[in-house]
């Protein structure tokens, strides 16, 4: 099925199941500990051995030799794989990092070996006996030091163009009545998901099965096949449950590759879980940025010049952080410029992390908008409202399919009590705490991608959905079950959903905020086909039949759904591919964040008191799971604003705080009150369900709203994240 015309009325519009706050289908399994994650799978043909990955002890250089003799004699050791016996390895398409170092070492903790033993403890003990000898080389580890050597990257499949220009930005900025020229920095961030990267690998002849933690099954099959040099058809990936990913499990990484190599060498299944310290320096992360934002406006507050430049670093061949993405479409302004620059760094690979581009870009842009509003003497909400646009600023003849940014801003301001905000910073002192309010806009793209599903209807009237879509904690099982139930006219307890198996029809996978909208569209397509098959089986006109309460109705005829399967189950498979509507209409999700903070007048300690997000993101398929996504993003935004920073040792080239003890993330005590409001919206240009994704909208703008609240509380403007008390304490206002 092809979606190339706006959606009209269809069975989804009944909203009997879709749009309802249904409990998560797999919730009981997860809360009782019976959901089986990658490392816990027991489907291997024989008990697996354990692999322990050894990371490089240097940041850049080469391996001169490896002495494994003592390690091989250790108790329980079965095999050791290094570059000397791994064979020729390629790299996948999405990530540029090599899964196994040797003889060249590209970054600290790049894998140099995997030791396989009967038990985990034996493998770990033997790994300490492996002698790896290095020749250290000088590396580049400091983005600010490499900024001057950064170059404009080539355009790629992901992210915005590296350079855009509309009108005469430099001229308009020079002539503007009011201008702002600000520099902002964001540090490296870790995904810090609860479930570590883990894989169980098993060979049967030339066929390879992996139980692994991965977001994109199709990417994983593609990249593993390319890395190992084997046909894609020989690979089977299984990933029914994933304990968080945030982009860090987009496709296969070293755990999957090394488990595969170790299993081949050991001649039996091997299971691998990466220790937390190795995850920080071996795997991908959100790279640091240095950003310059220039804004020019007339005295009435209308923007005339919008310029955004961003510098980030990566391994050779890696992508830049797309920090200018949101700036291109969020506000009006006739004269515009964005530029991305990429420096080569010898740190672990920088890649996608929740709302790549928008999250760090808006950490800068939305502070700059507040600074500009102050220069103009305007309320920050009003400044954003008057610079709204209903057309793509870069393509004025291209309208947004839906754009309720102004509605989000106004609704949030009213609900949060924005009118009570003191417009002068450092004026609200309550019980020894400076109190302030801040806000920011939110925008995140609403992409869709081809997605397929298979739907079965058995003799008992049970509908079973099969698709390789994954659930990374986002509620995929639930919204897919709701879609099938609505389409087939049955209750949710009559629907089974099977996900995360590469032998199932190929879906969008989880990532990019495209998973929910795309995968449910694929299920919709398969259900349309199944409805047709049922109608034909019953001798009814497919265009006139209704599926209601387990029955098929047409006029005065009403037959149980099971009548169609009395001779055996019916199976339909189809996919949804998307036409040019996304080219004809700009498709985005929008929102507004509002925050109240307290800053201790004596210590500079920062406490979030309450957060509000107002979102417009198409039809909300399940308000309960959607709310969870938004508050999760808001919480990650709080971490980015106040505490998260991977600290780089610029001498030796590694992230120093490489565990969850020293890489701080928000806990319950940090987040006392969060509220989410969804505006009523359907977007017929998006999908047949008129829905969009929400998983990354919640983080976009959230950090800047906190930064702006801190400024309102204290009068201290911090442009370098995270905003920690040491950046405030010497500048706190005097207590009168």
C-alpha pair distances (Å), 736 with each of 30, 56, 429: 53, 56, 10
Are 244 and 38 contacting, i.e. CB atoms less than 8 angstroms apart? no
Say how many C-beta atoms besides its own lie within 10 A of residue 171's C-beta: 13
- Tell which residue, 290, 277, 283, has the closest CA to residue 352: 283
Residue 84 is a catalytic residue = no
For 704, the token pair is 């800047």
| Radius of gyration of the chain, Cα coordinates, nearest whole angstrom | 27
Contacts of 123 (CB under 8 A, 6+ apart): 49, 50, 51, 52, 76, 77, 115, 116, 117
- Tell which residue, 469, 279, 351, has the closest CA to residue 93: 351
Distance CA 701, CA 444 (A): 10
Q: Sign of the CA dihedral 14, 18, 22, 25?
A: positive
Distance CA 718, CA 601 (A): 17
Helix extents (H) in 48-139: 69-72, 120-127
Instruction: State the helix-helix crossing angle for 476-488 and 515-537, rounded to 10 degrees.
Output: 30
For the chain, report the end-to-end CA distance as a whole number of angstroms.
69
Distance CA 723, CA 715 (A): 14
Are 376 and 299 contacting, i.e. CB atoms less than 8 angstroms apart? yes
Strand-pairing partners, residue 105, are 61
Distance CA 267, CA 261 (A): 10
- For the CA atoms of 195, 200, 206, 207, the dihedral, rounded to the nearest 10 degrees, stands at -70
Which 8-state DSSP code applies to residue 663? S
3-state class (DSSP) for residue 340: strand
C-alpha pair distances (Å), 152 with each of 167, 313, 374: 21, 12, 33
For 358, list phi and psi in degrees, rounded to 5.
-65, -45
Are 262 and 165 contacting, i.e. CB atoms less than 8 angstroms apart? no
Q: Sign of the CA dihedral 680, 683, 688, 693?
A: negative
Distance CA 418, CA 614 (A): 14
- Tell which residue, 188, 192, 160, 362, has the closest CA to residue 289: 188
Distance CA 306, CA 21 (A): 41
For 142, the token pair is 């400091």
Contacts of 17 (CB under 8 A, 6+ apart): 482, 485, 486, 491, 492
Say how many C-beta atoms besides its own lie within 10 A of residue 642's C-beta: 23
For 85, the token pair is 């016996």
Active-site residue identified among 195, 358, 428, 696 = 696
Are 270 and 259 contacting, i.e. CB atoms less than 8 angstroms apart? yes
Distance CA 425, CA 714 (A): 6
- Residue 172: left if φ>0, alpha if ψ -120 to 50, beta else—which one? alpha
Distance CA 607, CA 284 (A): 30
Distance CA 126, CA 318 (A): 34
For 510, the token pair is 């989880």
411: exposed, middle or buried (Cβ count in 10 Å: 0-12, 13-18, 19+) = middle
CA angle (231 as vertex; 86, 265 as ends), nearest 5: 25
Residues with active-site annotation: 696
């Amino acid at each position: 099925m092809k979606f190339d015309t706006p959606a009209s009325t269809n069975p989804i519009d009944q909203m009997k199941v879709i749009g309802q706050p249904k409990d998560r289908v797999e919730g009981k399994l997860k809360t009782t500990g019976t959901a089986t994650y990658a490392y816990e799978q027991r489907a291997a043909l024989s008990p697996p051995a354990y692999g322990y990955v050894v990371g490089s002890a240097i940041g850049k250089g080469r391996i001169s030799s490896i002495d494994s003799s003592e390690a091989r004699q250790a108790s329980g050791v079965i095999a050791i794989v290094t570059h000397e016996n791994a064979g020729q390895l390629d790299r996948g398409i999405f990530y540029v990092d090599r899964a196994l170092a040797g003889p060249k070492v590209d970054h600290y903790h790049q894998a140099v070996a995997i030791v396989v033993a009967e038990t985990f403890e034996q493998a770990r003990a033997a790994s300490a006996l492996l002698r790896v000898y290095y020749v250290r080389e000088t590396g580049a580890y400091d983005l600010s030091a490499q900024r001057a050597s950064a170059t404009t990257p080539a355009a790629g499949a992901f992210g915005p163009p590296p350079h855009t220009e509309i009108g005469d930005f430099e001229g308009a900025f020079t002539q503007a009545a009011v201008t702002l020229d600000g520099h902002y920095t964001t540090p490296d961030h870790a995904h810090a998901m609860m479930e570590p990267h883990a894989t169980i690998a098993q060979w049967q002849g030339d066929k390879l099965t992996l139980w692994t933690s991965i977001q994109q099954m199709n990417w994983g099959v593609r990249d593993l096949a390319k890395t190992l040099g084997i046909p894609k058809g020989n690979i089977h990936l299984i990933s029914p449950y994933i304990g968080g990913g945030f982009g860090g499990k987009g496709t296969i990484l070293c755990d999957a590759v090394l488990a595969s190599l170790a299993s081949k060498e050991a001649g039996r299944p091997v299971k691998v879980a990466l220790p937390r310290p190795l995850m920080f320096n071996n795997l991908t992360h959100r790279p640091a940025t240095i950003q310059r934002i220039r804004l020019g406006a007339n005295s009435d507050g209308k923007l005339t010049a919008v310029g955004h430049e961003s510098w980030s670093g990566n391994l050779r061949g890696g992508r830049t952080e797309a920090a200018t993405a949101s700036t291109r479409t969020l506000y009006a302004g006739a004269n515009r410029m964005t530029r991305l620059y990429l420096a080569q760094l010898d740190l672990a690979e920088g890649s996608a992390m929740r709302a790549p581009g928008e999250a760090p870009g808006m950490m800068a842009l939305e502070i700059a908008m507040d600074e500009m509003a102050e220069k103009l003497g305007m309320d920050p909400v009003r400044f954003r409202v008057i610079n709204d646009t209903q057309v793509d600023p870069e393509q004025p003849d291209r309208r947004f399919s839906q754009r309720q940014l102004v509605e989000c801003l106004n609704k949030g301001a009213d609900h949060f009590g924005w009118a009570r905000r003191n417009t002068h910073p450092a004026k609200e002192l309550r019980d020894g705490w400076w109190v302030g309010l801040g806000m920011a806009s939110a925008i995140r793209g609403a992409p869709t991608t081809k997605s397929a599903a298979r739907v079965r209807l058995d003799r008992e009237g049970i509908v079973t959905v099969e698709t390789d879509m994954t659930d990374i904690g986002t509620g995929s099982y639930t919204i897919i079950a709701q879609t099938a139930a609505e389409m087939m006219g049955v209750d949710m307890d009559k629907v089974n959903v099977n996900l995360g198996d590469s032998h199932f029809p190929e879906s969008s996978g989880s990532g990019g905020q495209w998973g929910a909208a795309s995968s449910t569209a694929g299920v919709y397509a398969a259900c349309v086909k199944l409805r047709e098959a049922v109608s034909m089986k019953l001798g009814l006109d497919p265009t006139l039949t209704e599926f209601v309460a387990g029955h098929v109705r047409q006029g005065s005829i009403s037959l149980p759904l099971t009548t169609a399967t009395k001779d055996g189950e019916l199976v339909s498979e189809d996919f949804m591919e998307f036409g040019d509507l996304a080219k004809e209409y700009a498709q985005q999700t929008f929102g507004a964040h509002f925050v109240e903070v307290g800053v201790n007048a004596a210590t500079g300690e920062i406490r979030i008191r309450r957060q509000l997000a107002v979102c417009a993101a198409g039809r909300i398929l399940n308000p309960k799971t959607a709310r969870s996504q938004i508050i999760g993003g808001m919480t990650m935004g709080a971490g980015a604003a106040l505490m998260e920073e991977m600290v780089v040792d610029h001498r030796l080239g590694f992230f120093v705080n490489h565990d969850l003890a020293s890489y701080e993330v928000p806990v319950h005590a940090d987040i006392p009150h969060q509220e989410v409001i969804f505006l009523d919206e359907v977007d017929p240009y998006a999908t047949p369900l008129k829905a969009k994704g929400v998983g990354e909208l919640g983080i976009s703008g959230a950090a800047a709203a906190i930064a702006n609240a801190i400024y309102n509380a204290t009068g201290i403007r911090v442009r370098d994240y995270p905003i920690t008390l040491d950046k405030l304490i010497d500048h706190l206002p005097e207590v009168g």
